[in-house]
Amino acid sequence: MDQQVTLMHPETSSPDGLGASSALPADLVEQVRSRLRLLALLMLIAFAIDPLLFFGVWAAARLGQGALPADHARDVAFYGFDVAVVIASAVLFKIARSPRVSAPHLRTIGLGYEVAVCFVIAFRTFWEYYRDTGILPNLTWAPAVIILFPLVMPAPPRLMLPATVTAAAMPLLALVLLDSAGRVPVGAPDYFNTAVGSAIAVGFAFMASRVVYGLGRAVAAARELGSYRLEEKLGEGGMGEVWRARHRMLARPAAVKLIRSSLGGGSHPERARDVVRRFEREAQAIAGLRSPHTVELFDFGVADNGDFYYAMELLDGIDADKLIRRFGPIPAERAIYLLRQICHSLSEADSRGLVHRDIKPANILVCRYGEEYDFVKVLDFGIVKPADTTDNGQPGLTREDAVQGTPSFIAPEQALGGSQVDGRADIYATGCVAYWLLTGALVFTAETTIGLLLHHAQTVAAPPSTRTDRPIPPALDDLVLSCLAKDPSHRPQSARDLSRRLAEIGGAKAWTQERAQSWWVEHQPTRPPIAVT
Question: What are 165-211's pLDDT values in tens digits?
Answer: 999 999 999 999 999 988 899 999 999 999 999 999 999 998 888 88
- Non-local (6+) Cβ contacts of 437 within 8 A are 320, 324, 329, 330, 334, 335, 338, 339, 361
Cα 98 → chain centroid: 18
Residues 6+ apart with CB under 8 A from 399: 274, 391
Amino acid at 471: P
Q: Could you give the residue ranges of the DSSP H alpha helices within 354-506? A: 412-415, 423-439, 449-458, 474-483, 495-503
Residues 6 or more apart whose CB falls under 8 angstroms from that of 263 comprise 240, 241, 275
Question: Which residues of the chain register pLDDT less than 50?
Answer: 1-22, 264-266, 388-402, 531-533
Q: In Å, what is the CA distance from 531 to each residue of 261, 356, 377?
A: 21, 20, 12
Q: Concatenate the DSSP letters of all residues of 491-508 into one string.
A: S-SSHHHHHHHHHTSTTG
pLDDT tens track for 306-361: 667 778 888 888 889 999 999 999 999 999 999 999 999 999 888 888 888 889 99
Question: Can you tell me the distance from the alpha carbon of 276 to that of 271, in angstroms, rounded to the nearest whole number?
Answer: 9
Q: Pick the closest to residue 322 from 262, 371, 362, 283 (CA basis).
A: 362
| pLDDT tens per residue across span 261-276 | 555 444 565 666 666 6
Reduced 3-state DSSP string for 334-356: HHHHHHHHHHHHHHHHHHCCEEC
CB 245 within 8 A of CB 228: yes
Length of the chain: 533
Give the DSSP H/E element, type plus range, for residue 378.
strand 372-378
pLDDT at 390: 47
What pLDDT score does 442 carry?
93
Q: Which of 378, 482, 492 is nearest to 424 (CA)?
A: 492
Is the Cβ–Cβ distance between 413 and 403 less than 8 Å? no
Which backbone phi and psi does 138 adopt, to 5 degrees?
-75, -30
pLDDT at residue 69, rounded to an integer: 57
Determine the pLDDT at residue 254: 81
Active-site entry in 82, 274, 307, 358: 358
User: In this predicted structure, what is the pLDDT of residue 21?
Assistant: 35
| Domains of the chain as residue ranges with CATH | 1-15+223-313 (3.30.200.20), 26-222 (no CATH), 316-530 (1.10.510.10)
Torsion (CA) 153, 154, 160, 165 in degrees, nearest 10: 50
Which amino acid, residue 524? Q
Residue 194: which residues within 8 A CB-CB, separation 6 or more?
171, 172, 175
Alpha-carbon distance of 109 to 370, in angstroms, equals: 37
Using CA atoms, how far apart are residues 398 and 341, in angstroms rounded to an integer? 29
Is-catalytic flag, 321? no
